[in-house]
A and B are shown apart, each in its own frame.
Chain A
């Protein structure tokens, strides 16, 4: 502890050194060490105060409210009077629809990593080459990500409607056998939605990975090429390992995004047909807002939060540890 204190003081002294010189002789009252400690505390309060107030007000307080509501049988109106303890939690955890929803989220998350990631890496490697029209191509690939999720959902609802453009395209190229009820078939709807999600978000992955690729010094590739490595070996042994941190961050964002899938699903299918595309958030919204069981909805949100939080902590602890190790500057002094 004593050691930590002394490092802190040294850090503070160094930080305060700049302004100290300016105001030097005028502040001869307090001993310098004490003064700089107080100064540091004031600076920290100014820097951390406003963000913390916002964070507490908009993240922590609503969370506490959600936990509180989850203990009541409440329809969103009137006072909280019907305290039912953990009954809501029992209902969520044992409910078969919630299990289905959770399973759907997990399927989307796994499919994202297994299908979106290789496509993203492939296209990023392709777009990383120097060629004509590179900028236009990157722009085109990124465009869907800029659309609002609501726009994407409405657009694909139109495209995938029965007898719509997708169906007639398939028919015109002689693949009429492939035509299905894309959004009305219980066995297919989840994968249709996964396709739409992929369509929208793959551009983000590609741009992220392109940024990662651009951070790789070209000398490494050149050196390997001079040593006689084939382009596959360069990709496999040099580019992919150096892309590791970017890929791990992408996986994190993709899984968290999959767990919180809502807008596209709600607009395109409302979680149906027969709960076949229910996700945890559509289940939450359906119970909370549509059936006005706000207590139950709050319970789903708490359970979803716990799942996301545990995943986030575990992932950061085990997968991102090396990548974020330098994020905090250890012992400034």
Chain B
């Protein structure tokens, strides 16, 4: 009981320290601002650039688009090719994830829970195999 109450006492004492607080030190604040700027501003610029024509990109790449061009986004959303591409990506993502999950966990279970001859060798073969996708498919032309 004494242990419990001591723990509770300690927990009570540092809730103040553990509570999420605003950052107070200016240095930390600056670092965070810098990181946010360098991460988000390029992506913001990319989004904004979608509202320019190619001509506008060439003549005035900086600043806000003038005038705002909506046709780029509109034509992408209306394009059948784009939606076909979205579907293709979605199929690859779903099938690859499902296969990797199911087959990967099967192999992992066998390798970790069973003992059999050649297990360590097999494990060694599989591991670098998945870490280095070094050899691309030999022929992309067919």
Contact = CB atoms under 8 A, between A and B. Distances in A.
A309 B39 contact: no
A165 B112 contact: no
Contacts of B140: 289
Contact of A140 (B23, B40, B46, B131): B40
A51 B61 contact: no
Given A8-B116, A137-B32, A155-B42, A76 B139 contact: yes
Interface in B37-75: 38-40, 42-43, 45-46, 49, 57, 61-62
A250 interface: no
Given A130-B21, A304-B134, A309-B132, A76 B39 contact: no
Contact of A65 (B99, B113, B138): B138
Contact of A165 (B20, B61, B106, B110): B61
Interface residues of A, number: 74
Contact of A312 (B120, B128, B135): B128
21 contacts: A48-B122, A55-B126, A55-B129, A59-B129, A63-B135, A69-B138, A140-B35, A140-B39, A141-B39, A147-B43, A155-B46, A158-B61, A199-B39, A222-B14, A252-B131, A294-B139, A298-B138, A305-B134, A313-B128, A329-B112, A332-B114
Contacts of A327: 112, 123
- Give the one of B23, B36, B133, B136 with max A CB within 10 A: B136
A177 interface: no
Interface residues of B, number: 56
Contacts of B127: 312, 316
A26 interface: no
- Give the one of A54, A131, A301 with max B CB within 10 A: A131
A7 interface: yes
Given A155-B46, A164-B61, A312-B132, A47 B109 contact: yes
A159 interface: yes
Interface of B: 14, 18-23, 28, 31-32, 35-36, 38-40, 42-43, 45-46, 49, 57, 61-62, 99, 103-104, 106-107, 109-117, 119-120, 122-123, 126-129, 131-141
B119 to A, nearest CB: 7
A4 B19 CA distance: 55
Contacts of B57: 158
A176 to B, nearest CB: 14
Contacts of A203: 39
Given A151-B46, A155-B42, A302 B135 contact: yes
Contacts of A128: none
Contacts of A281: 136
Chain A to chain B: the 7 pairs with minimum beta-carbon distance, closest first: A305-B134, A47-B110, A51-B107, A308-B132, A312-B128, A51-B103, A11-B115
B106 A50 contact: yes
Nearest to A151: B46
A126 B103 contact: no
Contacts of A11: 114-115
Contacts of A47: 106-107, 109-110, 114
Contact of B61 (A163, A259, A305): A163
Contacts of B61: 158, 161, 163-165
Interface string A150-191: 010001101101011100100000000000000000000000
A327 B126 CA distance: 13
A301 B35 CA distance: 37
A55 to B, nearest CB: 7
B129 A332 contact: no
A305 B132 contact: yes
Contact of B115 (A51, A137, A168, A331): A331
A123 B99 contact: no
B43 A44 contact: no
A161 B59 CA distance: 12
Contacts of B36: 137, 140
Interface in A35-56: 40, 43-44, 47-48, 50-52, 54-55
